[in-house]
């Protein structure tokens, strides 16, 4: 009968390997190298990062794209005039060159976005990591503090803060950065806190502690680096969100002063002529959308690359 037969496969078919031998055919890969390897093959990452590089170039060297001074070359005779040679996007109500204004507005939008994200990172990651790692009363206090700011809607909170005399009289990029960071750090703190809590009980942290690493040392050396992935993803996504926030505040007249070229201010100004010449509104709004879209696409691509579930070989 076939079912009582003792079957032995020929040894040549499955040659016996050494137990638990090390695979040496591939180059060593750190988490970041691995993420980079995945990222650079993704079309979404390539497109969005090329767009961001282009935007950065525009922000740093606006002179390479236009020689027209956006503010001081306005002639009312050109008011709402259509595109002409050298002025491809036409003119605003005040007779300023739309193309020049859009190019020069890049700098303000990007700098508000980048600076706000940096501030949020410093405040949010520090507080979130301390709260998550040490827990106890520190966590409770910081969580409630965060909740207070969390409960304030951005526009409402910004209205209140910017009406303070100190801010009303010194409107600049920095006041906008301050307002956005004040109201946006709790989300970053929450994400960091969650990631830190997830990592802090890992065996490698216990192992480091029993090697003699101090409690704070373990946070800095082992916990934080392992909790950074969601933080980086959120930071990339928030960059886009903060640029929109700046435009919103400027549109409402509580953001950047009129002297600073910004898309939000231009959208606000173009609001008056939306019926007669909507293209004046379209160009700064389009630039804003493209910028935000590229950062959000980058954030999505980075999130996929850093997803720990995709990191099994």
Partner 1 sequence: MTTATVKIEETAIQDRPILEIKDLAITFTTGAGEFKAVKNAHLSIMPGETVAIVGESGSGKSTTALAAIGLLPGNGRVTGGQILLDGEDIAHASERRMIELRGSHIGMVPQDPMSNLNPVWKIGYQVRETLKANGRPDGPDDVARVLAEAGLPDAHRRARQYPHEFSGGMRQRALIAIGLSCAPKLLIADEPTSALDVTVQRRILDHLEKMTTELGTSVLLITHDLGLAAERADKVVVMYQGNVVEAGPSLELLRNPQHPYTKRLVESAPSLASRRIQSAKEQGVEAADLLVPAAAGRARDEVLQVRNLRKVYKLRQGMGQSTDFAAVDDVSFSVKRGTTTAIVGESGSGKSTVAKMVLRLESPTEGQIIFDGVDTAGLKGKELFTFRRRVQPIFQDPYGSLDPMYNIYRTIEEPLRIHKIGDAASREKKVRELLDQVALPQGTMQRYPNELSGGQRQRVAIARALALDPEVIICDEAVSALDVLVQAQVLNLLTELQSELGLTYLFITHDLAVVRQIADHVCVMEKGKLVETGTTDDVFDAPQQDYTRALLNAIPGASLLLPPAVA
Residues that bind partner 1 (CB under 8 A): 1-9, 11, 13-14, 16-17, 19-20, 22-24, 26, 28-31, 34, 202-204, 206-213, 217, 222, 225-226, 311-313
User: Residue 93's Cα: distance from chain center in Å?
Assistant: 34
Q: How far apart are CA 139 and CA 300, in angstroms?
A: 30
User: Which residue's CB is nearer to partner 1, number 26 or number 67?
Assistant: 26
User: Which residue's CB is nearer to partner 1, number 170 or number 206?
Assistant: 206
Please choose, from the candidates 164, 165, 212, 220, the residue with its C-alpha nearest in 3D space to the C-alpha of residue 196.
220
Least distance to partner 1 from the beta carbon of 230, Å? Answer: 15
Number of other CB atoms surrounding residue 85 within 10 Å:
5
Least distance to partner 1 from the beta carbon of 133, Å? Answer: 15
Least distance to partner 1 from the beta carbon of 208, Å? Answer: 7
In DSSP notation, 268-295 reads HHHGGGTTT-THHHHHHHHHHHHHHHHH
Least distance to partner 1 from the beta carbon of 43, Å? Answer: 16
Q: Are 95 and 107 in contact (CB under 8 A)?
A: no
User: Which residue's CB is nearer to partner 1, number 276 or number 312?
Assistant: 312
Strand partners, 91: 97
User: Which residue's CB is nearer to partner 1, number 171 or number 200?
Assistant: 200
Least distance to partner 1 from the beta carbon of 309, Å? Answer: 13
User: Which residue's CB is nearer to partner 1, number 14 or number 259?
Assistant: 14
Least distance to partner 1 from the beta carbon of 310, Å? Answer: 8
Contacts of 52 (CB under 8 A, 6+ apart): 294, 295, 298
Q: How far apart are CA 92 and CA 77, in angstroms?
A: 11
Strand partners, 87: 84
User: Which residue's CB is nearer to partner 1, number 10 or number 63?
Assistant: 10
Please choose, from the candidates 295, 307, 306, the residue with its C-alpha nearest in 3D space to the C-alpha of residue 33.
306
């Amino acid at each position: 009968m076939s079912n009582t037969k003792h079957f032995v496969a020929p040894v040549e078919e499955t040659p016996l390997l050494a137990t638990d031998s090390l695979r040496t055919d591939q180059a060593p890969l750190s988490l970041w190298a691995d993420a980079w390897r995945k990222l650079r093959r993704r079309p979404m990452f390539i497109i969005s990062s090329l767009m961001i590089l282009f935007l950065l170039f525009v922000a740093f060297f606006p002179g390479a794209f236009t020689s027209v001074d956006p503010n001081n070359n306005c002639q009312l005779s050109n008011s709402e005039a259509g595109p002409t040679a050298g002025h491809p996007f036409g003119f605003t109500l005040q007779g300023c060159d739309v193309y020049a204004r859009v190019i020069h507005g890049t700098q303000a939008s990007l700098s508000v976005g980048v600076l706000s994200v940096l501030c949020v990172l410093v405040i949010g990651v520090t507080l979130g990591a301390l709260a998550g790692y040490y827990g106890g009363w520190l966590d409770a206090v910081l969580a409630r503090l965060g909740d207070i700011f969390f409960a304030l809607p951005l526009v409402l909170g910004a209205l209140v803060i910017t009406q303070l005399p100190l801010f009303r009289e010194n409107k600049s990029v920095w006041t906008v950065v301050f307002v956005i960071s004040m109201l946006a750090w709790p989300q970053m703190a929450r994400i960091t806190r969650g990631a830190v809590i997830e990592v802090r009980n890992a065996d490698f942290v216990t192992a480091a502690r029993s090697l003699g690493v101090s409690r704070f040392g373990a946070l800095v050396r082992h916990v934080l680096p392992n909790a950074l992935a969601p933080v980086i993803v959120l930071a990339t996504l928030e960059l886009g969100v903060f640029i929109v926030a700046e435009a919103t505040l400027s549109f409402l007249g509580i953001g950047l002063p009129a002297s600073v070229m910004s898309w939000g201010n231009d959208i606000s100004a173009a609001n008056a002529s939306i019926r007669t010449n909507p293209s004046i509104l379209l160009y700064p709004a389009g630039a804003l959308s493209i910028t935000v879209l590229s950062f959000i696409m980058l954030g999505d691509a980075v999130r996929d690359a850093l997803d720990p579930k995709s990191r099994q070989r």
